[in-house]
Structure 1
Amino acid sequence: MFIFAAALIVAGVALFVAAPLGIGLVGARAKSPGEIQVERDEHERGLAVQGLRELEFDREMGKLSAADYESMHKALEERALTAMAAVENFRLQTGNAANSKKLSST
């Protein structure tokens, strides 16, 4: 009887631990190419912003000349702004598409 109870406890714990994995697989939906691109753009923006932070730190530590800082800062800033603009454009397009669907269904 003790072995049976122990086996039930182990099985219950295993199911409790594995439950989020099953829900993640069942609940996942396929992403559109636009959503995947937005994730890439958001990741790119994050990398550029992190690069800007590190660049600022390096400048404060005296590791960069003013000319190096300016050129690298400009490149990273353009990267971040380009990615932010791409994300915003996608959101505006999907928002406009959703609004037009609502208007046409009424």
Structure 2
Amino acid sequence: MAKKKAIGERGSWFASVDDERLPCVHRHWMQCFEYCDPGYIEGSEKWSEFVSAIERCKRVILTNDKPIAAPSEKAGVTFERLGYIAVFAVDDVIVDDSGLKFRLSERICDLI
């Protein structure tokens, strides 16, 4: 599998791979191939754009991050991005009281 380069910007929830802007998700919230981010805030413009992009693209960039305690945040943490892992296809996107959830269904490409 060929590796591709992801390009992001500090503070952005997105990065580009081959000129396509994709949402970035934290490995911290993964268990096997299931993702659940408890920080989802219904009605937030930033979250709405993020979830819409996941539902539309059906792909995400999985990132390696350093969790930083943030008691004022809903999930109790924020993250410092350390690197990009891979692009994955996703299925079964759901947002509910427990957060943003989906399943990683296919590893599309590794990232550098």
How does the TM-score come out when normalised to structure 2? 0.21
Larger radius of gyration: 1
Larger fraction in strand = 2
Larger fraction in helix = 1
